[in-house]
Structure 1
Amino acid sequence: MPSLTFHTVDAFTTKPFSGNPAAVIVLTEPLEDNILLNIAIEFNLSETAFVLPLQDHTEENPHLLIRWFTPAAEVPLCGHATLASASVLFSPSSPLPISPSASLIRFETLHSGPLTAERRGEKIVLNFPAASGILEPQSFATSGEYYEIVKTAIEKAAPSLEGQVVAVTKTGFGPLVEISSAVSIEGIKVDTTFIADGIPEFLVAITQPSPSPSPSFDVYSRVFAPKVGISEDPVTGAAHTMIGPYWLSTAARTRLGNSKFASPESAKGEVLVCSQVSARGGEMDVTYQEGRVELIGSARLMMKGVISF
């Protein structure tokens, strides 16, 4: 009977029972896709990550393939399960030995190019590509057919947001929807049936300047992916490859309350402090430069065990 060691990790949080939980399994050989999907179904978390050492992997220079599955499908990119995977690999309980002197893990993906995870003090820094389309002028809309489709679906899903949609940006993942800070998106009820039925893409993110007073954070967000079995994702690294560049490198930055973003031009090294205000909640710092996004966060190991099949 085959068996695999697994870990579950709460990602983008320092507190237990918060952030986004992910299962992580380190493989020693490839498994069929249907087995990977069935394992993800068994865990029933928003994502399960599978990592496999590549031929040139060494303890000093870790190099692995990473794939992510929801209980419904494989997804092209996942931030929190990558953070969870890195935290497991860097930990003393890792089933794959990594040298204590190794501070960088290289990940290869099937759909999103190379990624890295760097150990930086108590936090881990993920380096991801920015979401495609996020900074293209033609992707941004305050009117037009796509804007109206998304706006209508959002307002049906959450009637309290009627009249609060500021802009819609179409990306490779799906729409990023800016909401006015006149109403907080934290705690509002969202019927994701309308999102699944009304918006063609698999992921929808809403974001806003953090409503005053919220001195700890620059922006709030919530993320929904009902088409791949995730009604609402607790904390979403992939969505912040849209959110970070949007707030740091477009005119939207001047709508943030923090005076450090008063200039319409972004500055090297700017850090956007983000809170995803789902029921579990989570947070990360985000930077953007030359098409790449850094997602900086913490993770907590919660469980370790063996799955047999």
Structure 2
Amino acid sequence: MEIPIFTVDAFTNVPFKGNPAAVCLIENELQDDLYQSIAAEMNLSDTAFITKQNSMDFTSAPGMTKRHLMDTFFNKTKKMECNQVVAFGLKFWMFHLQDQDEIKDLLKAAVGDLPIQDVFYSPAIKNLMIRLADTCNRSDLMSLRPEAETLVRNETTGKIKSLIVTLKGTQTSQSGYDFYSRVFSPWVGVPEDPVTGSAHTVLAGYWSEKLEKKKMMAYQCSSRGGEVKLEMRDDGRVDIIGQAQIILQGILKI
């Protein structure tokens, strides 16, 4: 069996930035264990399997599959054509205010002495979100170097899978971003995620309320970096949109 395969950098228009994913074009459904084996071989955070119906299975880890839609299609010559836009709709998750005294050691491990404005928790997806005070700037966020081992040591209850640190954007002539973020997930083996769709389901709901905006532009300040366009919908979901670059293509022989 020969499967066309690509590496796509999502949420960026620059190669080697954004979130890298493997994309496989398949004629027919594969056995479940083969999906997992291909994903493991690619060794990226997401591996997508696209059929002619434009459906995409993102396989992140054994036994975990997420289905999204991507503005990409599989043509008759078994090539992937991409108009450089990735778009999918996800439910945005509710959150509640978190008592900072209960997790003060974890907060210290995450942001050091930087001032904190709010801390929220989203139990549905086990995300803890720290909003830095507006006196902080983007360089403060980018300078954070939390150690994965320290974060894990300070949270052993299993209630947190990802830690989001966010900051209000400046909206200057140099930057049109409504907010910035970084995402750390050492509890699931990811010290820092390059660009995180699931985290933006929490961030979108929070910042939409604070900024009183339905449409926002965000930037995730990982070392790779990525731009995320967000559009809040009336059905309780958020559209997550970004550019994409195909940087590698080949044939997977099985």
- With the shorter chain as reference, the TM-score category is 0.7 to 0.9
Whether 2:181 is the aligned partner of 1:227: answer: no
Runs of 4+ in 1 over 6 A off after TM superposition: none
Does the 8 Å CA contact 2:171/2:177 hold for their aligned counterparts?
Answer: no
- CA distance in structure 2 between the partners assigned to 1:159 and 1:41 by the alignment: 35
- CA distance in structure 1 between the partners assigned to 2:16 and 2:242 by the alignment: 16
Alignment of 1:169-208 (within 5 A): 169-175=121-127, 176-183=129-136, 184-197=140-153, 198=155, 200=158, 201-208=160-167
* Structure 1: 5+ residue stretches without partners: 99-118, 254-260
Deviations 1:200-255, CA, capped at 9 Å, x for gaps: 23333221213586632110011122333322111112211111111102xxx1xx
- CA distance in structure 2 between the partners assigned to 1:26 and 1:159 by the alignment: 45
- Quick one: structure 1 residues 243 and 67, their matched pair in 2 at CA, closer, same or farther if it must change by over 3 Å? same
Structure (1/2) with the larger strand percentage: 2
CA-based RMSD of the aligned residues comes to 3.0
Does the 8 Å CA contact 1:88/1:94 hold for their aligned counterparts?
Answer: no
- Quick one: structure 1 residues 124 and 52, their matched pair in 2 at CA, closer, same or farther if it must change by over 3 Å? closer
Does the 8 Å CA contact 1:158/1:191 hold for their aligned counterparts?
Answer: no
Does the 8 Å CA contact 1:187/1:278 hold for their aligned counterparts?
Answer: no
1:300 to 228, 245, 254: 245
- CA distance in structure 2 between the partners assigned to 1:93 and 1:301 by the alignment: 19
Question: How much has 1:271 moved relative to structure 2?
Answer: 1.5
Does the 8 Å CA contact 2:59/2:66 hold for their aligned counterparts?
Answer: no
- CA distance in structure 1 between the partners assigned to 2:189 and 2:166 by the alignment: 21
Match of 1:102 in 2: none
Alignment of 1:44-193 (within 5 A): 44-52=43-51, 57=53, 62=54, 64=55, 66-70=56-60, 72-75=61-64, 77=66, 86-89=70-73, 95=78, 123-131=85-93, 134=94, 139-143=95-99, 148-149=102-103, 151-161=104-114, 163-164=115-116, 166-175=118-127, 176-183=129-136, 184-193=140-149
- Quick one: structure 1 residues 203 and 34, their matched pair in 2 at CA, closer, same or farther if it must change by over 3 Å? farther
Instruction: Return the letter of the residue paired with 1:95.
Output: K
Deviations 1:141-191, CA, capped at 9 Å, x for gaps: 1427xx733x53242244244x52622122422223322233331131121
- Quick one: structure 1 residues 69 and 194, their matched pair in 2 at CA, closer, same or farther if it must change by over 3 Å? farther
User: What percent identity do the matched residue pairs reach?
Assistant: 27
Does the 8 Å CA contact 2:97/2:121 hold for their aligned counterparts?
Answer: yes
* Structure 2: 5+ residue stretches without partners: none
SS of 1:195's partner is helix
Match of 1:239 in 2: 199
Deviations 1:252-307, CA, capped at 9 Å, x for gaps: x1xxxxxxx3xxxx46xx32110000001010111212201011211011111112
1:286 to 215, 230, 239: 230
- CA distance in structure 2 between the partners assigned to 1:160 and 1:187 by the alignment: 12
Match of 2:13 in 1: 14
Does the 8 Å CA contact 2:25/2:80 hold for their aligned counterparts?
Answer: no
- CA distance in structure 2 between the partners assigned to 1:225 and 1:35 by the alignment: 26
Does the 8 Å CA contact 2:163/2:184 hold for their aligned counterparts?
Answer: yes
Does the 8 Å CA contact 1:77/1:238 hold for their aligned counterparts?
Answer: no
Does the 8 Å CA contact 2:92/2:238 hold for their aligned counterparts?
Answer: yes
**TM-score scaled by length of structure 1:** 0.68
Instruction: Return the letter of the residue paired with 1:306.
Output: I
Question: How much has 1:87 moved relative to structure 2?
Answer: 4.9
Does the 8 Å CA contact 2:7/2:246 hold for their aligned counterparts?
Answer: yes
- Quick one: structure 1 residues 122 and 4, their matched pair in 2 at CA, closer, same or farther if it must change by over 3 Å? closer
